[in-house]
Structure 1
Amino acid sequence: MSTAARAPRRDVPYREIDDAVRHRHADDEFYLRRALETGLTGTAPIVEQYERKISERYGLRHVLAVSSGSAAVAVALEGVDWEVGDEVIVPPSCPICTVLPLMARGLTPVFCDVRPDSFGLDPLALARVVSPRTRAIIEVPMWGYPTKADELQALARSLDIPLILDLAHCHVTRLHGKWLAEYGDIACFSTHEGKFMSTGEGGFVMTNDAARDARMRAYTRFGNLDGQRVGLNYKLGGLQAAVGLARLDAIDWHLEVRARNRQFLLERIDNPLVRELPLVEGGVINGYAMLMQVVRGDGRRFVEHLVAHGVPSDVKKYDNQPLYNYELLAPYRRECENARRLLRSLTTLPLHPQLSPEDLQHIVDTVNAYDG
């Protein structure tokens, strides 16, 4: 961020900044017509084409389109071995949407602290919580910022425990020149309307393991209706896959515009009380949002300052806090101080392509006007 001398503070007028992304692309109608002509079910050709196109983009062999990001986590669980009562390690800094599918299947979430100033699981904390009943580790990078997934992958392999990456926020996020998704045994994505890439509702699961893919795919199709395996209908419909095909084509444009918006903010924000959340070495964010961290004082005061001036915050919207603070998850409480401090220090700034130059300047002025 700018190191130039700070201008005198001044009052900032209110301006409503929209945090919603209006996903609308020129080829939507073309692919929707193709879906109407060829079939709308979850096994229609348009869905297979969508899955192939994702696979080609990421270079992972098996892609399974599903009905939501939460469904993606539920389906990923079918790619690992477990019994009711077994444990899955998760960070308390993730959305509750990641943990509810575990509980619905009778698995026990075990909260593990994160590294300081990161959403990545802390290896030392993980060593303390892993047990003979641990059946999977789930890491959840947030708002497009990569974690040290390479180190976690090595640790998970040394423990012979599958690593699931919940990348709902991390489409085309990179680490050391590779897609973040490549570091997991299974990677889950959301394509909800508010995400980096949208099919309205939806998600997908990726793996390079053919056996895991077969198990997950069967689960989304009622256990292949063979009467031997339990399964549900988690397939993505043809209409959603059709718009997904169009919007895959727009990913590079999103990356470019969001990177440009982030650079605009970085060059002009010069408030010493805040900083961008540090990037891990070798990491490249996707611009889903910009994470700003208060370096002195209470981050929730910063959040309230932004919102009072019309700058939206996901932290305010979802009241992000350690998940064990919620009544439903209180029985699994395990104090995670790094996660608590991290969530208390952060807010998001929008970077989406619909922001005008005036919107971006208002964000700069509002951040620079914060005085703690």
Structure 2
Amino acid sequence: MGNSKFLPYGRQSIDECDLKAVADTLTSGWLTTGPKVSEFEQAIAKLSKVAHGVAVNSGTAALHAAMYAFGLKEGDEVIVPPMTFAASANCVAYMGATPIFADVDPKTLLIDPEKVEQLITPKTRGIIAVDYAGQPCDYDALRVIADKHGLFLASDACHSIGGDLNGQMVGSLADISLYSFHPVKHMTTGEGGMAVTDNPEYDKRMRIFRNHGITADFRQRDGWFYEMEELGFNYRLTDFQCALGLSQLEKLEKWIERRREIASLYNHEFAEIEELAPLEIRPGANHAYHLYVVKLKGSDCAPKRKALFDYLREKGLGVQVHYIPVHLHPYYKKKFGTYKGMCPVAEEAYNGLISLPMFPAMEDSDVTVVLSLIKDALQRG
């Protein structure tokens, strides 16, 4: 059984409205630091039900800016999950601080609040929760822990824009929340990201940080004079990227609805497939489904996962694995002394994970193809 068209695990959707929005901005006289940036920031802040948005050129830059806003420094510790892309922990290391890995819940692969509490020391400054695959974490429990110990709470919401928890929008669940607009995410600016917050001081610090540490942009300067007060970065996002983001944002609700429809089709079939299971959904969580992740059941799944992965790739499915636990990367082993066995739940889960195609342009027939190929592979053993 083959597949006549390649189905990646994720893919952007670009239409004529997007092209026109970008073209109009390219001929507007503004290419960067113009009106579309603030318009996009305000729109994403409104979606998130918070006061401020700070546009930057990647989700990684948003994470870095947040750590700067929190005043992280060498010697500090921040608790992070291992089941995420490395940027979620790298942003701590960028500041000279130490990421401390708290294991995940085996049913959801979200950071386990009980494990977080066990890892708090006098050096702990904060917690970074990651909404793995698009499902909001247990922010109620994490907020109690953060407030009890005087810690900041950041939300890596790069997978979960448009989701909610008990009716409260993603983006409003932490002190600062971070989004990514990479092409495989729910909406795209090409590359891009944003930090959203209700805190005006965090907003101010992140704006300075993204602009070289300069306290005012050129529109606010008195003639030629400016001052760099902090060591910042050039993390600005262009006007034409923000124009694309605004156009994409108009379709976000429809796209997330379609992702949930696709997930429902997958869920229905996986209820009858004994060898594989999707991750569980927490009560009150409204999943945004950046990824649709399934997990092979049983122990010693790695060889079987490899065979299934290779078979599906051969048949034209761009399946992926999300993620190699961050603490197992060579850099973290060398720099921070992390080791295999540190987060056993994440490590065991990793051996059996596969991310299946999930993007709004998928048709029901595409889902049928994916499921048929999986069933065929399992029947072949």
Scaled by the length of structure 2, what TM-score is found? 0.88
Q: C-alpha displacement at 1:303, in angstroms?
A: 5.4
- Within a 5 Å distance, the mapping from 1:1-372 to structure 2 comes to 12-13=1-2, 16-36=6-26, 37-41=28-32, 43-225=33-215, 226-269=227-270, 270-300=272-302, 301-302=304-305, 304-309=307-312, 310=315, 311-315=317-321, 320-330=323-333, 331-333=336-338, 335-369=342-376, 370-371=378-379
Distance in 2 between residues matched to 1:101 and 1:297, nearest whole Å: 33
Q: Which amino acid aligns with 1:255?
A: I
- Indicate if the aligned counterparts of 2:10 and 2:358 stay in contact, CA closer than 8 A: no
Q: CA RMSD in A?
A: 2.0
What stretches of structure 1 move > 6 A for 4+ residues in a row?
Answer: none
Structure 1: where are the runs of 5+ without partners? 1-11
Q: C-alpha displacement at 1:89, in angstroms?
A: 1.1
- Indicate if the aligned counterparts of 1:110 and 1:332 stay in contact, CA closer than 8 A: no
Q: Which amino acid aligns with 1:247?
A: Q
Distance in 2 between residues matched to 1:70 and 1:112, nearest whole Å: 20
Structure 2: where are the runs of 5+ without partners? 216-226
- Indicate if the aligned counterparts of 2:113 and 2:138 stay in contact, CA closer than 8 A: no
Q: Which amino acid aligns with 1:368?
A: K
Distance in 1 between residues matched to 2:109 and 2:251, nearest whole Å: 27
- Indicate if the aligned counterparts of 1:111 and 1:332 stay in contact, CA closer than 8 A: no
Change (3 A) 1:299 1:355: farther
- Indicate if the aligned counterparts of 1:34 and 1:46 stay in contact, CA closer than 8 A: no
Q: C-alpha displacement at 1:361, in angstroms?
A: 1.0
- Indicate if the aligned counterparts of 2:59 and 2:194 stay in contact, CA closer than 8 A: yes
Scaled by the length of structure 1, what TM-score is found? 0.90
Q: C-alpha displacement at 1:14, in angstroms?
A: 5.2
Secondary structure of 1:158 counterpart: helix
- Indicate if the aligned counterparts of 2:134 and 2:287 stay in contact, CA closer than 8 A: yes
Deviations 1:225-271 (A, max 9, x none): 52322211111111110100100001012112222222222233321
- Indicate if the aligned counterparts of 2:183 and 2:191 stay in contact, CA closer than 8 A: yes
- Indicate if the aligned counterparts of 2:12 and 2:187 stay in contact, CA closer than 8 A: no
Q: C-alpha displacement at 1:306, in angstroms?
A: 4.4
Deviations 1:200-241 (A, max 9, x none): 100000001111111111111122252322211111111110
Distance in 1 between residues matched to 2:114 and 2:264, nearest whole Å: 35
Identity of aligned residues (%): 25
- Indicate if the aligned counterparts of 1:46 and 1:241 stay in contact, CA closer than 8 A: yes
Distance in 2 between residues matched to 1:137 and 1:93, nearest whole Å: 14
* Aligned pairs, number: 357
- Indicate if the aligned counterparts of 2:309 and 2:354 stay in contact, CA closer than 8 A: no
Secondary structure of 2:20 counterpart: helix
Q: Which amino acid aligns with 1:327?
A: P
Secondary structure of 1:230 counterpart: coil
